[in-house]
Amino acid sequence: MAKVIFHIDIDAFYASVEELDNPLIKGKAVIVGAKPGTRGVVSACSYEARRYGIHSAMPISEAQRRCPHAIFVPVRMKRYLEISKKVMRMLEDAAPEFQQISIDEAFTDFSGTERLLGPPEEIARSLKTTIKQEFGLNISIGIAPHRYLAKLASDACKPDGLLQVKEGTGQAFLDSLQLKDLWGVGKKTLSRLEELNIRTIPQLRSFPIDLLKPMLGEAASEFLYKAVRGKDLDIFSAEPKSHSLSHEVTFETDIKDLETLKKVILELSQAVMDRLLGSESQSRTIFIKIRYYDFSSTLAQQTMKHWLTSSEEIAALALELLKKRWDGHTPIRLIGVGAAQVVRGGAQQQLELFIDPLAKKKRVEETIIRLKQKMKGLKLTKASFIKHEES
DNA sequence: TCTGGGGTCCTAGGACCC
DNA sequence: TCTGGGGTCCTAGGACCC
Q: What is the DSSP string of A53-108?
A: T--TTSBHHHHHHH-TTSEEE---HHHHHHHHHHHHHHHHHHSSEEEEEETTEEEE
Instruction: Answer whether residue A211 shows pLDDT above 50.
Output: yes
Identify the DSSP state of A182. Answer: S
A55 pLDDT band, cuts 50/70/90, is: very high
Cβ of residue A190 near strand C, that is under 7 Å? Answer: yes
A285 Cβ neighbours under 8 A, 6+ residues apart: A301, A302, A303, A304, A339, A340, A341
Tell me the CA–C1' distance in angstroms for A216 and B9: 14
A240 pLDDT band, cuts 50/70/90, is: confident
Mean pLDDT score of chain A, rounded to an integer? 90
Identity at A333, one-letter amino acid code: R
Residues in A 359-388 whose C-beta is less than 7 A from nucleic strand B are: 384, 387-388
- Find the nucleotide nearest A219 (Cα to C1′): B10
In this predicted structure, what is the pLDDT of residue A234?
86
Cβ of residue A238 near strand B, that is under 7 Å? Answer: yes
A158-167, A272-281, A380-389: which has the minimum mean pLDDT? A380-389
Q: Could you report how far apart the first and last alpha carbons of chain A are, in Å?
A: 48
Distance CA A316, CA A327 (A): 18
* Cβ count near A53 (within 10 Å): 11
Residue scoring higher pLDDT (A365 or A184): A184
Query: Which segments within chain A are labelled E, that is strand?
Result: 5-10, 30-33, 42-45, 71-73, 97-102, 105-109, 139-144, 162-164, 245-255, 281-282, 285-292, 297-303, 332-340, 343-344
Distance CA A224, CA A230 (A): 10
A369 pLDDT band, cuts 50/70/90, is: very low
Distance CA A22, CA A30 (A): 11
A239 pLDDT band, cuts 50/70/90, is: confident
Residue A369 CA to its chain's centroid (Å): 51
**Mean pLDDT, residues A171-189:** 97
In this predicted structure, what is the pLDDT of residue A384?
32
Distance CA A348, CA A131 (A): 43
A366 pLDDT band, cuts 50/70/90, is: very low
3-state secondary structure of A237: coil
A197 Cβ neighbours under 8 A, 6+ residues apart: A203
Tell me the CA–C1' distance in angstroms for A150 and B5: 27
Q: What angle do CA A100, A105, A110 make, to 5 degrees?
A: 65
Q: Using one digit for the tens of pLDDT, what is the confidence trace for A325-354?
A: 999 999 999 999 999 999 987 444 444 444
Tell me the residue length of chain A: 391
The answer to whether residue A389 is catalytic is: no
- Find the nucleotide nearest A184 (Cα to C1′): C16
Tell me the CA–C1' distance in angstroms for A131 and C3: 66
Q: What angle do CA A28, A31, A36 make, to 5 degrees?
A: 125
A3-12, A162-171, A255-264, A380-389: which has the minimum mean pLDDT? A380-389
Q: What angle do CA A34, A36, A42 make, to 5 degrees?
A: 40
Q: Using one digit for the tens of pLDDT, what is the confidence trace for A255-287?
A: 999 999 999 999 999 999 999 999 999 999 999
Q: Which residues of A160-175 are buried (b: 16+ CB within 10 A; e: fewer)?
A: ebbbbbeeeebeebbe
Identity at A49, one-letter amino acid code: A
**pTM, entire model:** 0.87
Tell me the CA–C1' distance in angstroms for A98 and B8: 21
Angle between helices A311-325 and A258-278 in degrees, nearest 10: 140
Q: What is the DSSP string of A122-139?
A: HHHHHHHHHHHHHH---E
Residue scoring higher pLDDT (A182 or A240): A182
Instruction: Answer whether residue A376 shows pLDDT above 60.
Output: no
A75 near A32, Cβ under 8 Å?
yes
* Cβ count near A86 (within 10 Å): 12
**Mean pLDDT, residues A169-179:** 97
A217 pLDDT band, cuts 50/70/90, is: very high
- Find the nucleotide nearest A190 (Cα to C1′): C15
In this predicted structure, what is the pLDDT of residue A112?
95
Distance CA A291, CA A270 (A): 20
Cβ of residue A275 near strand B, that is under 7 Å? Answer: yes
Q: Which of A18, A19, A48, A105 is catalytic?
A: A105
